[in-house]
């Protein structure tokens, strides 16, 4: 976890008050494998798992200064926490609310150009999230830079060519620029953190020495908010609509003599 | 003579124990999958995180503290608990 990095810890102690909120059951929360406190952990790319983690930076009055969706590398997290402090100064300064909002949006967009190449490299969207965006909202997703290139991810074994998708650092600042100095209670977490699959799990506790995921991982316990798909299998009078899907879900692959 | 032998046996035993420990440690390191942080290290990280920084779990209390200290607030949404299963 990047929060436990020594530099981040030191920075937080000196500059921030900290708190956490368990989003299990919230409508915007995704799904993740359950990881016990002694379980393995994994480093991943910036912005991975946006439905499962959102790191808000708030002014003391609850105004949203910044929000980092998903995991972020410790160096990049420090950079963004420092940036959020600049936004806090704008919020606390004299000036009209409209002026402050304009400054906020301008600063958010300008910060994209300040990201070092290494941070951009760490901000490539996960391949399965790219595929999800291309498959479900090819023509409407704000994560896609080039529709034709993004569509290539839908081909068998397709990988996104360079320039098909925005990086997550860009997506974050662009979305924040559209939400200048909003009260936390009115912040649309669901829309803000919505890109890629709602389930994110690297199966850290089910990897062998070569990093391959064991097949038993599919039965691993999960955390989060999962839509109850089972309801759709029943008709309004409570009868099972599809016998084959019912049997499949209960592990029966075939039956009869 | 007996004392010397016992001393030598003790040294050999100690060396053997050290070797076993070292082999075990190396084997554990070798078992860690690429990019995966071993559970014991992850636990140490979590302990550092929760011991060195106080984590509020009520927003109003955190905002009060932020106001008193004149600091912004890092408010982390997460699946699970920072000091428990996630």
In a domain, B16, yes or no: no
Cβ of B86 under 8 Å from any chain A Cβ? yes
Inform me whether the pLDDT recorded for B39 exceeds 80: no
Cβ of B28 under 8 Å from any chain A Cβ? no
List chain A residues with CB under 8 Å of B48: 4, 9
Do the Cβ atoms of A20 and B37 come within 8 Å? Answer: no
In a domain, B33, yes or no: no
Do the Cβ atoms of B79 and A29 come within 8 Å? Answer: yes
In a domain, B72, yes or no: yes
In a domain, B53, yes or no: yes
List chain B residues with CB under 8 Å of A37: 43, 46, 83-85
A29 and A82 belong to one structural domain:
yes
Domain span including residue B66: 43-77
A64 and A51 belong to one structural domain:
yes
Q: How many domains does chain B have?
A: 1
Say what the pTM is: 0.74
A161: distance to nearest CA of chain B, Å? 24
How far apart CA A181 and CA A62 sit, in angstroms, is: 10
Cβ of A4 under 8 Å from any chain B Cβ? yes
* pLDDT for the residue B26: 41
Q: Are strands B73-78 and B36-37 parallel, antiparallel or unpaired?
A: unpaired
Measured between CB atoms, which of A18, A40, A85 is closest to B37?
A40
The 10s digit of each residue's pLDDT in A77-126 is: 999 999 999 999 999 999 999 999 999 999 999 999 999 999 999 999 99
Contact A42, B37 (CB under 8 A): yes
Among the candidates A115, A148, A166, a domain finishes at A166
Name the residue among A98, A64, A224 with its Cα closest to residue B59. Answer: A64
Q: How many domains does chain A have?
A: 3
Domain span including residue A137: 132-166
A183 and A154 belong to one structural domain:
no
A178 and A201 belong to one structural domain:
yes
* pLDDT for the residue A91: 98
A142 and A46 belong to one structural domain:
no
A107 and A35 belong to one structural domain:
yes
Report the first-to-last Cα separation within chain B, whole angstroms.
60
Question: Which pLDDT band holds residue B48 (cuts at 50, 70, 90)?
Answer: confident
In a domain, B54, yes or no: yes
Cβ of A32 under 8 Å from any chain B Cβ? yes
In a domain, B24, yes or no: no
How far apart CA B84 and CA A38 sit, in angstroms, is: 9
Pairs of residues, one from chain A and one from chain B, whose beta carbons lie less than 8 Å apart: 188
List chain B residues with CB under 8 Å of A40: 32-33, 36-39, 42
A88 and A40 belong to one structural domain:
yes
* pLDDT for the residue B36: 72
* pLDDT for the residue A97: 96
Q: Are strands B36-37 and B55-56 parallel, antiparallel or unpaired?
A: unpaired
A215 and A234 belong to one structural domain:
no
Q: Which residues of chain A have pLDDT under 50?
A: 229-238, 240, 246-247, 251, 253-257
A213 and A247 belong to one structural domain:
no
* pLDDT for the residue A223: 66
In a domain, B56, yes or no: yes
* pLDDT for the residue A31: 77
What ipTM did this prediction achieve?
Answer: 0.78
Instruction: Write the DSSP assignment of A38-58 as a string of letters.
Output: TS-EE---TTBSTTTEEEEEE
Inform me whether the pLDDT recorded for B29 exceeds 50: no
């Amino acid at each position: 976890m990047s929060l436990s990095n020594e530099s981040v810890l030191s920075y937080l102690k000196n500059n921030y008050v900290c708190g956490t909120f368990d989003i299990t059951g919230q409508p915007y929360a995704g799904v993740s494998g359950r990881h016990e406190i002694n379980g393995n952990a994994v480093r991943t790319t910036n912005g991975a798992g946006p439905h499962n983690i959102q790191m808000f930076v708030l002014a003391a009055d609850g105004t949203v200064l910044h929000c980092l969706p998903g995991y972020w590398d410790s160096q990049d997290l420090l950079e963004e926490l420092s940036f959020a402090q600049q936004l806090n100064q704008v919020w606390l300064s004299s000036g009209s609310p409209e002026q402050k909002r304009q400054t906020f949006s301008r600063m958010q967009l300008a910060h994209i150009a300040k990201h070092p190449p290494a941070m951009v490299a760490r901000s490539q969207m996960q391949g399965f999230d790219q595929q999800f965006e291309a498959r479900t909202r090819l023509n409407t997703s704000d994560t896609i830079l080039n529709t034709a290139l993004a569509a290539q991810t839908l081909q068998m074994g397709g990988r996104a060519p360079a320039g098909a998708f925005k990086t997550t650092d860009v997506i974050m600042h662009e979305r924040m620029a559209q939400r200048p100095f909003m009260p936390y209670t009115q912040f649309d977490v669901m829309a803000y953190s919505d890109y890629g699959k709602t389930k994110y799990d690297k199966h850290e506790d089910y990897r062998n020495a070569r990093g391959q995921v064991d097949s038993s991982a599919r039965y691993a316990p999960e955390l989060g908010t999962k839509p109850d798909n089972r309801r759709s299998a029943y008709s309004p009078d409570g009868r099972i609509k599809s016998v084959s899907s019912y049997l499949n879900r209960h592990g029966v692959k075939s039956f009869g003599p | 003579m007996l004392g010397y032998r016992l001393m030598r046996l003790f040294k050999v035993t100690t060396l053997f124990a050290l070797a076993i420990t070292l082999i075990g440690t190396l084997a554990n390191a070798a078992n860690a999958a690429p990019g995966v942080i071993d559970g014991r290290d992850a636990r140490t990280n979590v302990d550092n995180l929760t011991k060195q920084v106080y984590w509020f779990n009520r927003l109003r209390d955190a905002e009060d503290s932020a106001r008193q200290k004149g600091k912004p607030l890092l408010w982390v949404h997460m699946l699970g608990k920072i000091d428990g299963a996630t």
